[in-house]
Amino acid sequence: MADSCQAPQGFLAAVREAVGPDHCLSDPDLKASYELDWTRRFGGPALVVVRPANTSEVAKVLAACNRFQVAVVPQGGNTGLVGGSVPRRGEAVLSVGRLNRVLSCDPDEGLIVAEAGTTLASAQAAAAGVHAELGIDIAARDSATLGGMVATNAGGIHVIRHGPMRARLGGIEAVLADGTVATRLSGLVKDNVGYDLAQIMAGSEGTLGVVTKVVLHLVPVPPFRVTALVGLRGTEHSPADPAASVRSVSEVAVALAIRLRRHVDGIDALELVYAEGMALVREVLGLPAPPDPGADAWLLVEASGGQDPTGMLAEAIEDSPGVTEAAVADDAGGRARLWAYRERHTEAIATLGVPHKLDLTLPMKALAEFAGAVRSEVSAALGGQVDTRVIMFGHVGDGNVHVNVIGPEPEDYRADDAVFRMVIRRGGSISAEHGVGVAKLDFVTAARSAGDLTVMRRVKDALDPSGILNPGVLLPPVA
């Protein structure tokens, strides 16, 4: 397969003809932003960046890639964090950025249909226009695109209520490696006629096809929505209550998250930040003091529904061990100010260097112990390297934590490996919501059974027999 920066003869002419010369980028300056991922850890030269305007142009581009055996990396908003949407060694990049129209948004059917390059924020705005929501939200909403979110099965802050991207999908249109267009856009909730195209594409990371259109289910805007930021301390720090059992702040947080999940109706989000991340976000972004500025951690909880959830929330939080102070907001501005402490972690961390982003899920019963052990395991893996920082935060309500390690060189995998091993030993997942990309390839065989991997490989071989779609991503090479 042609995967160096030398295009096979005739290929560039074919893609230029497919999309027009203005949307076939070969100039290094124009290609640059497509060649490096958001973390700056992953990337490489692109043979060419091709920017089709619609499904039929995508089909022509893929048919050309297939004919000339040119490897191709599909790309949406390039907000991926595992190196799955950037070239590695001279692949063509197929950007869906120009497929960015919302095609319909129908509150009666409860469906929005949009092209794959539509940003999440644009789709959210269209839904808001008919007094509806998407039931999915992520901090990168202004740049992340719906197609990329399907390809990675993105999760985000509302998964505990509405599930990840695959649960929101009502249908899809995708172009296969040979240019075949596969369409299932009916959006019918009940539609059992065989294999589910949308679910096959969800989480496939651009290895099975290029998503061109997406149908998502809408949910109504709830009349009431409340956000609270709750300061937490390990109960060993509460001499005022000698009867309380001694708990680390992570145990306190997990226990409170479980309690809220079980006893409060309409929990939308349960997010956790620790003191180190809070201090960094405040310093980098100049944010004011949160409730209990000396807390060890903060739980951000959001609930919504037909009734005002404030009373129920307060009751569940107030007498919970380890809770210190809380701030509550029910207006958009106040809620956004509380969310900023959590949502702006990613950009604040980026100011420290190139992060190793380890996106993990642990069973709830293993989460607090994992959180207590992760720093020392990272330090041991790096032989006590002193300039390392470990900043952890995430979606505690569904067991998903983001461990960010800053210090090791981008190509140094010792910390990554140590943390992935910890997760597998505890029955967790090495990829909660960011995907596998190239960052976690070495751990896929440990994370999936041999039978599971066989199914994945056979599906890949059936849909992309020449292996032109995002090679080197998701599926490890056969040993």
- For ligand 2HG, which residue of 85, 346, 361, 470 counts as binding (CB under 6 A)? 346
Considering the complex, what minimum distance in angstroms separates the CB of residue 473 from ligand 2HG? 18
Closer to ligand 2HG by CB, 139 or 456: give it.
Answer: 139
Least distance between ligand 2HG and beta carbon 401 (Å): 9
Closer to ligand 2HG by CB, 34 or 339: give it. 339
Query: Which of 51/395 has CB closer to ligand 2HG?
Result: 395
Strand order in the sheet with 92-95: 24-25, 48-50, 92-95, 72-75
Nearer to ligand 2HG, 227 or 404 (CB): 404
Whichever of 47 and 300 has its CB closer to ligand 2HG, that residue is: 300
Q: Compare residues 60 and 357 and give the one whose CB is closer to ligand 2HG.
A: 357
Instruction: Give, in degrees to the nearest 5, the angle at Cα 397 between 423 and 198.
Output: 80
Site for ligand 2HG in 78-107 (CB under 6 A): none
Measured N-to-C along each axis, helices 249-263 and 310-318 cross at an angle, to the nearest 10 degrees, of 140
String of contacts with ligand 2HG for each residue 214-243, x by CB under 6 A? ------------------------------
Please give the residues from 429 up to 468 whose contact with ligand 2HG meets the rule CB under 6 A: none
In angstroms, the CA 23 to CA 386 distance is: 47
Cβ 344 to ligand 2HG shortest distance, Å: 9
Q: At what angle do helices 414-425 and 364-381 cross, to 10 degrees?
A: 150
User: Per-residue x/- mask for ligand 2HG, residues 1 to 40, rule CB under 6 A?
Assistant: ----------------------------------------
Report if residue 357 touches ligand 2HG, rule: CB under 6 A. yes
Taking the complex as a whole, how short is the minimal distance between the CB of residue 140 and ligand 2HG, in angstroms?
A: 7
Positive/negative CA dihedral, 344, 321, 236, 326: positive
Q: Binding-site residue total for ligand 2HG (CB under 6 A)? A: 5
The residue (of 139 and 287) whose beta carbon lies closer to ligand 2HG is 139
**At closest approach, how far in Å is the CB of 357 from ligand 2HG?**
5
User: Which is nearer to ligand 2HG, 69 or 388 (by Cβ)?
Assistant: 388
| Of 139 and 182, CB closest to ligand 2HG | 139
Asked if 474 and 204 touch (Cβ cutoff 8 Å), the reply is yes
Binding mask 286-325 for ligand 2HG (x = CB under 6 A): ----------------------------------------
Q: How far is the CB of 254 from ligand 2HG (least distance, A)?
A: 17
Residues between 386 and 425 that touch ligand 2HG (CB under 6 A): 402, 404
Give every CB contact of residue 116 below 8 A, 6+ residues apart in sequence: 76, 96, 99, 145, 146, 147, 148, 150, 210, 211, 212, 213, 214
* Closer to ligand 2HG by Cβ: residue 161 or 402: 402
By CB under 6 A, name the one of 139, 275, 314, 441 that touches ligand 2HG.
139
> Is there a contact between 92 and 3 (Cβ–Cβ < 8 Å)?
no
Shortest separation between residue 271's beta carbon and ligand 2HG, angstroms:
8
Rounded-to-integer distance, Cα 262 and Cα 438, Å: 37
| Cα(396)–Cα(305) distance, integer angstroms | 21
User: Rounded to 5 degrees, what are φ and ψ at 3?
Assistant: -140, 20
Task: State the minimum distance, in angstroms, from the CB of residue 394 to ligand 2HG.
Answer: 6
Contact between 208 and 464 (Cβ < 8 Å): yes
**Two tokens at 225?**
């929505």
Q: Is the Cβ of residue 66 or residue 404 nearer to ligand 2HG in the bound state?
A: 404
* In the complex, least distance from residue 221 CB atom to ligand 2HG, rounded to whole angstroms: 23
Determine if 352 is a binding residue for ligand 2HG (CB under 6 A): no
Residue nearer to ligand 2HG on the CB measure, 35 or 271: 271
Q: How far is the CB of 51 from ligand 2HG (least distance, A)?
A: 26
Calculate the CA 88 to chain-centre distance. Answer: 21
What is the closest distance, in whole angstroms, from the C-beta atom of residue 2 to ligand 2HG in the complex?
34
CB of 154 to ligand 2HG, least distance (A): 8
Q: Which residues bind ligand 2HG (CB under 6 A)?
A: 139, 346, 357, 402, 404
